[in-house]
Structure 1
Amino acid sequence: MSLLDASTTAAALPYPRLVQAVEALLRDDDVQVPARLVHPLPSGGSLFVMPATDTRLAVVKLITFVPDNPSHGRPAIHGDVIVFDARSGLRRCVLDGPTVTARRTAAVTVAAARRLAACPAGPLLIVGAGVQGRAHLEAFVTALGVQQVSIASRNTQSAAALAAHAAALGARARVVDEPNAALADHPLVVSCTTAHGVVLDASPRRDAFVAAIGAFTPQMIEWAPAVVRAIAADGTIVVDTRDADHEAGDLLQAGVDVAAWPTLGDVIRDTPLWRQQQGKRPVFFKSCGWAGWDLAAARCAVPPLAHAADGRSG
């Protein structure tokens, strides 16, 4: 059994391969994902218990999310992803939970952008320069080849650090002061703040692909309800999974009938629900998280051939 730290977990989850694993998982009828348990903590945070299985692996992610931790110099997310052999029940490895969460979330966004974005090469606007901002920067640069990035954050030091990281990856990067004004120049937009109030209240471009990552509970919101309603009327909304029906704060607070819109799985499988929405722009992709994405990460970290050999050896 292997215990992988943050850097080793990241090395086991290269973005191009992780994007492929996400898409493959959505085509796999053997994947089972029970409802996740979210238990409140006295600090105002939450404990998440998220299981998922297929015919080969069983995973459970145990993480805590405490939104005000960054103000005290601590990461907002702590925890682990435990990976088991689905047949023998043996524990195969333990992955670093925050690293898995960051990388699989960004990989899901890239999988959506590959199918839905009119201009997948960018330029890209990232709103929020935290962990998810960094993960999405790396994923879009390494898996989609984006070369021009703008970064907006209320924390100017974090924005400057992320711009420097983009330059180290070979992309041209700049910091922008006002994200609403920058929307007009960017066909790719990722909002990944932890805000509980509106951050973006301007309309994206007609050809925009917007990935709204930050508001993953009904109480959270990044995009103004009027903007979301306008996209619903004139464009396309896609959610990561049906869990978004009761979790997607941006959509719920806008009064959108979330269940009427397709999931990323519908897009990958080309279902009738998705086909009736094709051709409408802009696209608003709402991601709330799902244990299936953690299972996709586990598939990357525990390759089938190595797994089979381990199983034969007992």
Structure 2
Amino acid sequence: MPRFLDARATAQALPAAAVAQEIAALLVDRSVQVPERLVQALPGGGSLFVMPALDGHIAITKLITFTPANAGTERPTIQGDVVVFDAATGQRVLVLDGPAVTAQRTAAVSLLAAQRLAPSADGPLLIVGAGVQGRAHLEAFAAGLGVREVHVASRTVQSAQALVDHARALGLHAQVAADADAVLARCPLVVTCTPASQVVLRGPVRDDAFVAAVGAFTPKMVELAPALCRDIAARGRIVLDTPDARHEAGDLLQAGLEVGTLPTLRDVVAGDVRGGGPVLFKSCGWAGWDLAAARCALRA
């Protein structure tokens, strides 16, 4: 019988630092195959995502729904599962909570990028967006980078304060930022993880800034002002999580940037990305990251 892990057990099986290491290993594993994902529109404005991936040992399918209309309600915006199969026998061996996998592996991808690219990796850290992804990135950057100081900006003071309280419980120095742009001069590490329905960061950022933008994963979604994206492109580097982001990264597409030749995280792991100035890491998601999480969970 397969193991079924609920949200808490899934998160416990996927510490960000371990998943980041697995992602780096996956990016040089030639047995990995990741077919194009299916995105099916649903009545009411939601979407169904079907995301398969496999390597020489396991095959996975991530089945999740994304329902923006659930924001602000008791229902989560992301729901679903990651099903893991033995590639040789076809047996289902593990079922993981889909939203927990998404949170942990997305934060781990950002962590790996920051470990390899951030000029000032120990912070302070600004988090814009105090939801599930904000919490996952807070924990990942604290554990994986040694960040000790955090500023949190959110649509409501209550949600920002809740994440600040969690940060303080972890032993961090944390405070609410009423204006995200106002604290950019103090924060070389920045994560934006909002519903991406509007611009939440306008800049400018520091010369040693590392910005991980994870909220916008369709061409119409946006978190970063177009001028901010163009400024980082002129002064530093923009790196994508995968080539798929070239047609999904709303922040960059709406800024009118040429995205076809931008390097990816695979290039970073291979040591092919160099240069100075601020870094924008644009993450849109990929089933390969879920495969890395599944590999990590199976060992756990």
Q: TM-score range by the shorter chain?
A: over 0.9
Q: Provide the secondary structure at the position in 1 that maps to 2:168.
A: helix
Shift of 1:70: 2.0
Q: Is the 8 A contact 2:236 2:276 kept in 1?
A: yes
What is the match of residue 265 of structure 1?
Answer: 266
Q: How does 1:26-105 map to 2 (within 5 A)?
A: 26-105=27-106
Partner of 2:282: 286
SS at match of 2:224: coil
Among 294, 297, 300, the residue aligned to 1:301: 297
Structure 1 alignment gaps of length 5 or more: 307-314
Name the TM-score, length of structure 1 as normaliser.
0.93
The code of the aligned residue for 1:3 comes to F
Letter in 2 for 1:300: C
Aligned partners of 2:296, 2:288: CA distance in 1, in Å? 13
| Deviation (angstroms), 1:33 | 0.4
Residues 153-232 of structure 1 aligned to structure 2 (within 5 Å): 153-232=154-233
Instruction: Give the distance between the partners of 2:16 and 2:202, measured in 1 at CA.
Output: 31
Q: Is the 8 A contact 2:164 2:174 kept in 1?
A: yes
The one-letter amino acid paired with 1:248 is: A
Name the SS of the counterpart of 1:106 in structure 2. Answer: helix
Letter in 2 for 1:88: T
Q: Tell me the amino acid that sits aligned with residue 297 of structure 2.
A: A
1:43 to partner: Cα distance: 1.5
Give the equivalent residue in structure 2 for 1:151.
152
1:130-162: CA deviation from partner (whole Å, max 9, x where unpaired) = 110010001011121111000000111111010
- Offset at 1:194? 0.7
One-letter identity of the residue aligned with 1:290? W
Return 118-127 or 10-19, whichever deviates more.
Answer: 10-19
TM-score computed with the length of structure 2 as normaliser:
0.98
Equivalent position amino acid for 2:48 in 1 = L
Deviation at 1:15, TM superposition (A): 1.7
Determine if contact 2:17/2:111 at 8 Å carries over to the other structure: no
Which residue is equivalent to 1:312? Answer: none
- CA distance, structure 2, for counterparts of residue 61 and residue 148 of structure 1: 34
Q: Which residue of 2 aligns with 1:122?
A: 123
Q: Which amino acid aligns with 1:78?
A: Q
TM-superposed CA distance for 1:233, in Å, is: 1.5
The equivalent of 1:3 in structure 2 is 4
Contact 2:216-2:249 within 8 A present in 1 as well: yes
Compare the two structures and name the one with the higher helix fraction. 1
Query: Structure 2: 5+ residue runs without aligned partners?
Result: none
Code of the residue aligned with 2:145 in structure 1: it is L
Paired AA for residue 130 in structure 1 = G
Structure 2 SS opposite 1:9: helix
In the alignment of these two chains, the number of paired residues is 299
| Percent of pairs with identical residues | 62
- Alpha-carbon separation, structure 2, partners of 1:199 and 1:233: 21
Asked if 1 retains the 8 angstrom alpha-carbon contact of 2:237 and 2:280, the reply is yes
The residue number in structure 1 matching 2:245 is 244
Partners in 2 of 1:198 and 1:53 — Cα distance? 36
Which is further off, 118-127 or 189-198? 189-198
Which runs of at least 4 in structure 1 moved beyond 3 Å after TM superposition? none
